[in-house]
Amino acid sequence: MYGNTPSSRETRKRLDAVVVGAGFGGMYMVHKLREMGLSILGIEAGSDVGGVWYWNRYPGARCDLMCIDYSYSFNEDIQQEWTWSEQFAAQPEILEYAKFVATKLKLREHFLFDTRVVRANWDDDQNVWIIETDRSEIFEATYCIMATGPLSKPKDPEIPGLDEFEGELYRAAKWPHTPVDFAGKRVGLIGTGSTGIQIVPVVAKQAKELCVFQRTPSYSMPMRNDKLDADYVAEIKRNYEGLRAAARNSALGGVRPSTTRPYFSLPPGQRRAVLEDCWKQGGHAVLGAFSDILTNPEANEQVAEFAREKISEIVKDPETAEALKPRGYPIFARRPCLDSGYYEAFNEPHVRLVDCLKEPIDRITETGLQTRDQHYDLDALILATGYDGLTGALLSFEITGRNGRKLSDKWKDGARSYLGLVMADFPNLFMICGPNGPAALSNIVTLDEQNVNWICDLITHMQDHELVTMEATQSAEDAWMETVFELAGRTLLAKANTWYVGANVEGKSRGLFMYTGGYLNYSNACEAAARSGYSGLSFAKQTEPA
């Protein structure tokens, strides 16, 4: 199967585990496996740790989860030594944090950087994964752990002429490592999801002109970020234990506000007061204002109308305000955006919204962008056009399991796995934040830690019982997917054309394949799976030589 690969069997390095990816999941995985005494290798395409925060250096890049959630809880020294400067940290600070952790835990020595995995094949005879990189190195490993991230395969728009543009072309997800100066330039931006919404106010401050090409408007709420003063940081550090416990016991894996109060349990005036208060608080407070925003279409529409009214309150030009108002899909069915001056930017005379629903983009030209109605001359064009989410990274290289079964074949009608962690026919392969877990809807660092701990407990179980392989049983995988689909049917999340449902990638099978039952229920399900003696997995012992 791998006989024509460049290195001979003798020169291949044999390891207990290979971890693909040096984001938060991969870093913690490498740390834990090393603590367990396993020989490990991490492989990462970037030049350093950080994952999504290594690549996404675009102006305004910032985490829309608070740092007290979006940080590791497993190491008390890290919690106490690292000090966040803002409630919602910007990309440079988060990347520094990742580097700080890597240095403190001496993780880099286990990683091969600037290296991509191009193939991972299971060898049925040897019970090992054969992992080949773009540097023609081959590794053999008992366990292969994919920490490739749910949003790591960026997607260009399907607009003709992209290669013809002679101005400066920037992709949000592959931003240059040196500062970009937009002063005096006519800048175009395509894409108004979380990324585009963060870019607009920052580039608007520099550019001579900014044209925002919007196809589907997003709902955005004010972030209302705060600097953290020393006294508050000291309070956080004293109380981390309780804050982390609260995060682990929540539906989101974080300390965001939530409630059990349904929308229509309050009279109209009080509902409005709650929403106004949440809008003033900022962050995701509106999302947590009522318990049924994502399940009751009538409640959802009233909250959506509230958000639309807010756009009219901020944006002075009525036509622009109208074009910015999302319609035709439920609020929060697309990822809720948090902004710092997005709508306000459209009050600047040099910032212009182009409504591509009315004036579709025809093509990109050498000098700018041609819509149905006119040509926009541009010196620079920024693409914030999203990702092939959840499955993109794992399907971007060849993964072959038992009996030559390709992952691309297994997932041709959509991703399937057991708990989002393991799969039938793919022995000893683990996914961190896999497509059938709650990754897109929870605090991913809490989920990373939970996934890694679960995987390590399972490997320990295998070692204790001299088990050499494990994989999900077909029935456990099918039952998990039934749960996923049953829960998906209860939410409004599938009612928008988003990366959540694969609608943004041509030809991708469409549907809600992710777990929508919330972080706590998910982690309880994983715990129950372990407590049952891993009854959803089949194991094999080392066979004695004949």
Is the distance from CB of 21 to CB of 148 less than 8 angstroms?
yes
Through-space distance between the first and last CA atoms of the chain, rounded to whole angstroms? 24
Residue at token pair 């963060």: 198
Stretch that binds ligand NAP, among 179-187, 208-216, 396-404, 517-525 (CB under 6 A): 208-216
Contact residue for ligand NAP among 158, 163, 231, 506 (CB under 6 A): 158
251 binds ligand NAP per the rule CB under 6 A: no
Smallest distance from ligand NAP to CB 149, Å = 10
Smallest distance from ligand NAP to CB 196, Å = 6
Binding-site string for ligand NAP from residue 481 to residue 520, where x marks contact by CB under 6 A and - marks none: ------------------x----x----------------
Q: Between 354 and 424, name the residue whose CB sits nearer to ligand NAP.
A: 354
Contact residue for ligand NAP among 22, 42, 64, 152 (CB under 6 A): 64
**CB atoms closer than 10 angstroms to residue 419:** 26
Q: Between 335 and 410, name the residue whose CB sits nearer to ligand NAP.
A: 335
Residue at token pair 């182009």: 354
Q: Classify 522 as helix, strand or coil.
A: helix
What Å distances lie between residue 52 and 70, 147, 498, CA to CA? 13, 11, 19
Q: Classify 243 as helix, strand or coil.
A: helix
Q: Between 144 and 382, name the residue whose CB sits nearer to ligand NAP.
A: 382
SS3 readout for 458-478: HHHHHHHCCEEEEEECHHHHH
Pick the closest to residue 445 from 284, 235, 252, 195 (CA basis).
252
Distance CA 426, CA 437 (A): 17
Contact residue for ligand NAP among 215, 402, 405, 406 (CB under 6 A): 215
Contact residue for ligand NAP among 335, 410, 416, 508 (CB under 6 A): 335
Enter the DSSP assignment of 207.
B
Binding-site string for ligand NAP from residue 162 to residue 191, where x marks contact by CB under 6 A and - marks none: ----------------------------xx
Q: Looking at residues 356 to 375 of the shown chain, list those that interact with ligand NAP (rule: CB under 6 A).
A: 356, 361
148 binds ligand NAP per the rule CB under 6 A: no
Q: Between 215 and 495, name the residue whose CB sits nearer to ligand NAP.
A: 215
SS3 readout for 146-180: ECCCCCCCECCCCCCCHHHCCCEEEEHHHCCCCCC
Which residue has the CB atom at the shortest distance from ligand NAP? 193
151 binds ligand NAP per the rule CB under 6 A: yes
At CB < 8 A and 24+ separation, what contacts does 6-9 make?
Answer: 6/136, 6/138, 7/136, 7/137, 7/138
Q: Between 326 and 401, name the residue whose CB sits nearer to ligand NAP.
A: 326
Angle of helix 230-248 versus helix 444-464 axis, rounded to 10: 50
Size of the site for ligand NAP (CB under 6 A): 27
192 binds ligand NAP per the rule CB under 6 A: yes
Stretch that binds ligand NAP, among 40-48, 239-247, 379-387, 401-409 (CB under 6 A): 379-387
Is the distance from CB of 181 to CB of 419 less than 8 angstroms?
no
Q: Between 198 and 225, name the residue whose CB sits nearer to ligand NAP.
A: 198
Q: Between 142 and 446, name the residue whose CB sits nearer to ligand NAP.
A: 446
Q: Between 161 and 257, name the residue whose CB sits nearer to ligand NAP.
A: 161
422 binds ligand NAP per the rule CB under 6 A: no
193 binds ligand NAP per the rule CB under 6 A: yes
Is the distance from CB of 129 to CB of 123 less than 8 angstroms?
yes
23 binds ligand NAP per the rule CB under 6 A: no
388-399: b (≥16 Cβ within 10 Å) or e: bbbbbbbbbbeb
Stretch that binds ligand NAP, among 150-158, 245-253, 398-406, 510-518 (CB under 6 A): 150-158
Is the distance from CB of 340 to CB of 222 less than 8 angstroms?
yes
Q: Which two tokens stand for residue 500?
A: 């959540």
Point out which residues pair with 14 in neighbouring strands. Answer: 140
Binding site for ligand NAP (CB under 6 A): 62-64, 151, 157-159, 190-196, 198, 213, 215-216, 335, 356, 361, 384-387, 499, 504
